Structure formats: C-alpha cells, structure tokens
Structure 1
Amino acid sequence: MTKQAIGMIDSGVGGLTVMKEAMKLIPNESFYYLGDTARCPYGPRPLEEVKEFTWQMAEFLMEKNIKMLVIACNTATAAALEFLQENLPIPVVGVIQSGSQAAAGTTQAKRIGILGTEGTVKSDVYPRSIHKEDETIEVFSLACPPFVPLVENNTYDGEEAKKVVADTLLPLKDKQLDTVVLGCTHYPILRPLIQEALGRNVQLVDAGAETVKTVKQLLGELNIAANPLGGKPEWKFFTTGAAQPFKELAEQWLEEQDLNVQHIELGEE
C-alpha cells in the first residue's frame, strides 16, 4: 500500500468526469489532476503535437512522485499511450481499451457507434480495439467537433446545446445502433442530450467510467492501493488556463468546495 497520488491528465476539464467516478469508486486514493485548458481542444491537432503535449503533462506530474498515470483523454490516449507506457517507470492507463471492452460486452446487435474528437476518429483506434474483442462487430465512428467547446465554455445546457447535439448525431440515426461509446471524457456532461438524440433504446458506454474500474483492479493487482486507514486523501488540480473558471467548473461537477486549483505553464502556450 502507498500514499502516493495517482496522476490524471486531460486536454481540459472533460477528464473531471473520470475524476468524479474515481472519487466514488476508489475514495481512499489521492489524485493530482492536470487539465491543459490553454491548448484545448486536442481533437483537431495533429497526433504528434498531442503526443508532445501529453508527454509534457506526464513529466510535470512525474515530478510530483505519482504512482500511476491515467490518461483521461481519448485523443491523448490514441496519440501517446504506448509511448508513455514504454517511457515511464509507472503504470499508465488510457481510456480506450476499457471503453472498447465494455461496448463489445454490451452490444446485442453487434452494431456500435463511436462518438469522438476528430483526432480519435482519424486514429481508427476504437474500431481496432473493438475488433480485438469481436471482429464481427460493425463499428460506426463519428467526429463531434462542437461537443468539446460546449463543455469547455460551460454552454452545455439549454435549447441551443440540444440542437447542436441533435444535428451532430444525425448521421448515426439510420445505423440501427444498440450501443454507443462516449469516446471523449467531455461527452458524459452531454449525456442527457446525447441519449435524447439517439433514443432510449441505445446503451451509452462511458469510456472514462469504465477506465476507473480498470484502475481499481490494477491498484489491487500491483499492491499499490492506498491504505483505507491512511487518513483523508489529497486532491490537487492544475490547469494551464485560468484557475478561477476551472475551479468553478470543477467544484460544480465534482460537488466539492474549496478545491486546490493552481495555474501552471507548460511548453509554449
């Protein structure tokens, strides 16, 4: 058992959806969260650039003596997971494999939709991962560029957001899907709107939430889980953008008060 924190990185605030699941499922663990809000969104960026940004975030948290790193961003996972696993001395977990396994285990019709950023969809990583589970499953991927700005700008509520989501998802309406993966950690914030647009018969899989289950299992297997009698866990939040808006969103989503949020600089922003 160890008191070291788990590091969590994301392109912005979307990974807080993963953080919320982690706080519920593994409440004894300390977390250091870093959101690169100054350079968000990652989706339209070249994967090599995303890989470099992800490495910068990982290096920052490694200096904090973390025991595990969670890449709570699908685009960053697609771009940098294998590189970080090969170059860091600690376990590194991404969000794609867990989401793929859950989706493959959920679908009955063997027709799965993937909602992701442009970078995630272009990487083709979800279809490859799902086909490792079951090569007979048909996968339909859709890039949803308007979704991340809705969340980052805190404009994800109301009729305009509802229309943006419904219009974006129109290409999937005739695909007879029974399972859809929320392949970006920002998207669970839009879950009610996505569910309404796709219909109640479609099962939504939250890749980030599934990843937390993997993290819990790995902590046990490696015997590095926090001692439940070790006292109150420590949560620290870092952002490359403005600290106050990040703090307000984090406290709203996590339903916590007085969170420790600090602005940091990474690379050339």
Structure 2
Amino acid sequence: MIATAEHGPIGIFDSGFGGLTVFREIKNALPMYDYIYLGDNARVPYGTRPFEEVYEFTKACVFKLFEMGCNLVILACNTASAKALRTIQQNDLPPGKKVLGVIRPTTESIHQYTKTNKVGVLATQGTVLSESYKIEITKFHPEINVYQHACPQWVPLVERNEITGEKSGEIVEKDIQSILAQSPEIDTLILACTHYPLLLPLIRQHTPAHIKILPQGELIAQSLVDYLNRHPEVESRCSKNSNMQFYTTENADDFEEKAAIFFGEKVHAAYIAI
C-alpha cells in the first residue's frame, strides 16, 4: 500500500520530452512548488500503442511518482490522458492521491478562441482514435464542430531535434493542408500533443495568418492555478521549496541533452527503473 505523505512535490509525467513544454509553463506560473518530472523515454512514443499498453505504462509511472511522495500527478501527455486517465481515476487511485490530465483544461477554454465554431485538432494517432477531444469539446461546447488529423511523423521529428529545415517543413505543411481541407472555416488549431510546440515556427509558417494556433502549456498551467485555488485540501499538501527533480527511464545523459531544448534551461536528470 502506498502511504500518503503529508506534503510532497507535484508529479509531472510524460512518455518522453514533450511534457517538459507543459512543465515549463507550470513552473513559470507556480514557481514556489516542488516538482518531480518523470519521462518514460525508454518506451516512447505512446501514440501508436494500444489502449491497454498505454494504460499499464501510465499507471506504473504514476504509481512510481506516488511512491516518491507526490500527492498530485499531472499527465502532461495527451495520449496518456486520452487512454489511461479516466480508468486510473475511477479504479486505481489510492486514498489522498489525485491525477489530472491535459485534455479537459484545453477543451473547457476553447470557446474563448474560435469565432466560427470550427476547430481543428492536430494530435497523435492514439489521441485521434480515442476521439477524446471531440467528446470533451462537444460536452462543454456542443455548438463547436471538431475536425481531427493525426500527425504520426511530428513526434519523431521533435525527438530527433529536426524542428527546422526543408524536409521537416514539407511534412508539417502536408499535415496542415490535410486538416484545413476538412473545412475552410477552421479558425483555431489545437496542438494536442506536448511535443508539437517545438514545431511552432514551422506550423505558423504553413498556416494562414488568421488561424489561431494553441499550444497547451499556458492553458494547462492556468487551469492548474485555478484547480489549486479551488481545492485547498490538495494545495495544502503540495510542498513549496522551489525544488525540481528530473527522472527518465532511459539514459540520463541523453535526457539532459534533449531536455534543455524542451524546458528552456539545463536540467540534471537521473535514471529510474519502472
């Protein structure tokens, strides 16, 4: 049985590096808290894996963060949020532990950005097939039409740090054209994968200027601020020493090298077995 620590860091989990783009915004908004980041880099990508596999991997990593003292864990991964969050919340949570995802904070606020009520979602294959964004946006805002497109090459591009150049631009351009071909009235694009903000210059280059592009980091950070304000029983058990720890299931040196690109500053990481 996992004991509930009186105070502990906020855990942030992702299948790889992408969650660092969310963590960066959370840290900027809430710098006083302690954090543990866990990247399951040994098993990335999650986007093409079956539901049950993503659930088992996500659950194992979440429970590792619980064991390390976290009382609140953020799934900074769209695929994990789509395929594992609800089951973990309903069936697996030990007393006193909370897990939040990235889909609901994004879908709740989307009405603030679209004027045509036509929204495109760019995501991994797993997130698209789950239809989580379509379901959640329809639940909150039934007047909004949602169009989805899977971008299976985008995560590998980011993981290889191929975020500039003609070849990467051609890949991004083709996917942008595919989503916009579904409706000429799309005026907002959600980057529904935490890796995608690294491609933002290319995405912006190949997207008409009038279309809003929404990375998730700031939306999720603001949602977490609001959540902690509304749930003092959770907030009071988050430790506040401005400490950060980083763990990866793969090589720590490799993680540190790439993590700086996503997080915007150098980090010190350690290997952890899951």
**TM-score normalised to the size of structure 1?**
0.92
Q: Is it true that 1:222 corresponds to 2:226 in the alignment?
A: no
> C-alpha deviations, 1:15-38, integer Å up to 9, x for none?
000011011100111111111111
The corresponding residue for 1:99 is: 106
Moved more, 237-246 or 248-257: 248-257
Q: Deviations over 1:211-241 (max 9, x none)?
A: 221211122222244799954x111111112
Is residue 167 from structure 1 mapped to residue 167 from structure 2 by the alignment?
no
Instruction: Select 2:270's aligned residue among 262, 266, 269.
Output: 262
Whole-Å Cα distance in 2 between the matches of residues 236 and 265 of structure 1? 15
Letter in 1 for 2:262: W
Aligned to 1:192, which of 196, 201, 205?
A: 201
Question: Is the contact between residue 118 and residue 188 of structure 2 (CA under 8 Å) also seen in structure 1?
Answer: yes
Matched, 1:152 2:159: yes
Letter in 2 for 1:149: P
Return closer, same or farther for 1:239/1:136 CA change in 2, 3 Å cut-off.
same
Alpha-carbon contact 1:195-1:202 (below 8 Å) kept? no
Asked if the contact 2:26–2:217 (Cα under 8 Å) also holds between the matched residues in 1, the reply is no
Say which SS state the counterpart of residue 181 (structure 1) adopts: strand
Task: Report the AA paired with residue 164 of structure 1.
Answer: I
- Equivalent pairs: percent with the same residue? 36
How far apart in 1 are the matches of 2:236 and 2:260? 24
Is contact 1:10–1:73 with CA below 8 Å preserved after alignment? yes
Which amino acid in the other structure matches residue 147 of structure 1? W
- Number of residue pairs aligned between Structure 1 and Structure 2: 263
The answer to whether the 8 A contact 1:104-1:133 is kept is no
- 1:240 equivalent in structure 2: 249
8 Å CA contact 1:29–1:225 kept in 2: the answer is: no
Q: Which amino acid in 1 is paired with 2:37? A: Y
2:47 maps to a residue whose letter is: G
Hey, what's the Cα distance between the residues in 2 that align with 1:230 and 1:39? 31
| Cα distance, 1:196–1:250 mapped onto 2, change above 3 Å | same
Question: 2:106·2:216 contact (CA, 8 Å) conserved in 1?
Answer: yes
Give the match for residue 63 of structure 1. 67
CA positional deviation for 1:48: 1.1
Q: 2:105 and 2:169 mapped to 1: Cα distance?
A: 28
Partner AA of 2:67 in structure 1: E
Q: CA deviation at 1:194?
A: 1.2
Structure 1 residue aligned with 2:78, among 57, 74, 82?
Answer: 74
Aligned residue type for 2:165? G
More displaced, 131-140 or 182-191? Answer: 131-140
- Greater Cα offset, 37-46 or 170-179: 170-179
Distance (whole Å) between structure 2 residues aligned to residue 38 and residue 65 of structure 1? 23
Q: In 2, distance between residues paired with 1:189 and 1:65?
A: 31
Structure 1 pair 189–238 and aligned structure 2 pair: CA distance change class (3 A):
same
Alignment of 1:103-118 (within 5 A): 103-118=110-125
3-state SS of the aligned residue for 2:222? Answer: helix
User: Residue 122 of structure 1: which of 129, 141, 144 is its match?
Assistant: 129
Runs of 5+ consecutive residues of structure 2 not aligned to the other structure: 1-5
What is the TM-score of this pair, normalised by structure 2? Answer: 0.90
Residue by residue over 1:37-89, the C-alpha shift from the partner in whole angstroms, topping out at 9 and shown as x without a partner, is 11111111101110110001011111011121100001100111112222223
**Distance verdict in 2 for CA 1:34–1:229, change over 3 Å:** closer
> Which amino acid in the other structure matches residue 130 of structure 1?
I
The question of whether the paired residues in 2 share the 8 Å contact of 1:113 and 1:141 is answered with: yes
Amino acid at match of 2:230: E
Amino acid at match of 2:273: E
